[in-house]
Amino acid sequence: MRLGLLAGPENDWRESLAKVQIAEELGVEFVALGEAWGKSIIPWLATIATNTSNIQIGSSILNTYSRTPAAISQEYAMLEELSEGRMILGLGSSGANVVEHFHGVPFEKPLSRIREYVEIFNTLIAGEKLNYEGSFFQMSRGFQLHYNRTRNKIPVYIAAITPKSIRQTGEIADGIYPIHWPRGLFEDLRASLKEGASSSDNPDKKFTIAPFTKITVLDGSQDDDEKWLEARGLIHHYVNRMGVFYWQMLERNGFEAEVGASRAAWAERDRETSVLAISDDMVRECQVIGSQEEVRAQLQERSDLGADVQMLYMPQGTPDEFRTWLTNLTA
């Protein structure tokens, strides 16, 4: 069972860094963080790179609209030097709300844009001359990106959940971040990735499935009801407030009734009914919830079903509390 950590700087970046260092000590192999309309994650990744030695480091999702592919290549070249070759680039399209109303950029043809982005990034990271003719980007002066390379390829992971985007990810990337992907469908996901890889230069490449994984530990107390509500609330947020892609994915993957009921109640601004429409089965399929022993068993089961590296949301609390939490998960 392989674990990763979704770890932001939170309110006190020093405490968050201490947690990342504890995670590295306890065998977590990958730490990542996404970026939406909050603080830039690049300085945070640099901080982790210079204060750890073995753990892989990356973006969970950087959108492909707010920076040019050359700009992110420049930033990752520096991060590669700081980390001595431990970086992973995680990309996603984000959505129209953030792209157009925060960054002020038209949200156009996300699949075509992410393909061009990856191709340009790979060219620059490999040290090759950049001559490119695409729909979004055209470069013809043969610029090269010079830095102290330890390798000519940085792995690229993509947050993809639609059938077409999953197949494209299999073709152009090295890993995938599935969000709220049902545990029983990881092998179906891998089959779609392999289908996409068959169109690439490396059809037999090894691919990493790295699902975002929320963990809720129940202890039999009165707090368990509130914990269940919190677990439902995260799925509810994606179903009702994160655009069409997530609820459509969950509908396709067996939760049409829950999605329909939740969205109907939300349309009436009945949040309580909308949240409660997220069933126990839906939570158990998309998250990890139960007693300490059940949580460990579920993590192992998800690994056996095809989750290569499970990206755990870092919990609130002190570094000492985090050490106890993570030790209990891996005991």
User: pLDDT tens digits for 122-170?
Assistant: 999 999 999 999 999 999 999 999 999 999 999 999 999 999 999 999 9
Query: Exposed, middle or buried: residue 205 (CB in 10 Å: 0-12, 13-18, 19+)?
Result: middle
Distance between CA atoms of residues 169 and 172, nearest Å? 5
Amino acid identity of residue 87, one-letter, is: M
169-200 per-position pLDDT tens digit: 999 999 999 999 999 999 999 999 999 999 88
> Which helix (DSSP H) or strand (DSSP E) does residue 209 occupy?
strand 208-209
Sequence spans of domains, the chain: 2-215+291-330, 219-287
What pLDDT does 327 receive?
96
**Structural tokens at position 123:** 């060219």
Amino acid 199: pLDDT = 85
The pTM score is 0.94
CA–CA dist 77, 148 (Å, integer): 8
Q: What is the pLDDT of residue 242?
A: 85
| Residue pointed to by tokens 């994606």 | 238
Which residues of the chain have a pLDDT value below 50?
A: none
Neighbours of 298 (CB within 10 A): 19
Structure confidence at residue 96 (pLDDT): 82
CA distance 27 to 329: 12
Query: Which pLDDT score is estimated for 323?
Result: 97
User: For residues 89 and 72, is the Cβ–Cβ distance under 8 A?
Assistant: yes
Going 154 to 310 to 306 to 280, the CA torsion angle's sign is: negative
Look at residue 210 in the predicted model and tell me its pLDDT.
98
Compute how many other C-beta atoms are within 10 angstroms of the C-beta atom of residue 321: 12
CATH topology of domain 2-215+291-330: TIM Barrel (3.20.20)
Instruction: Supply the pLDDT for residue 243.
Output: 80
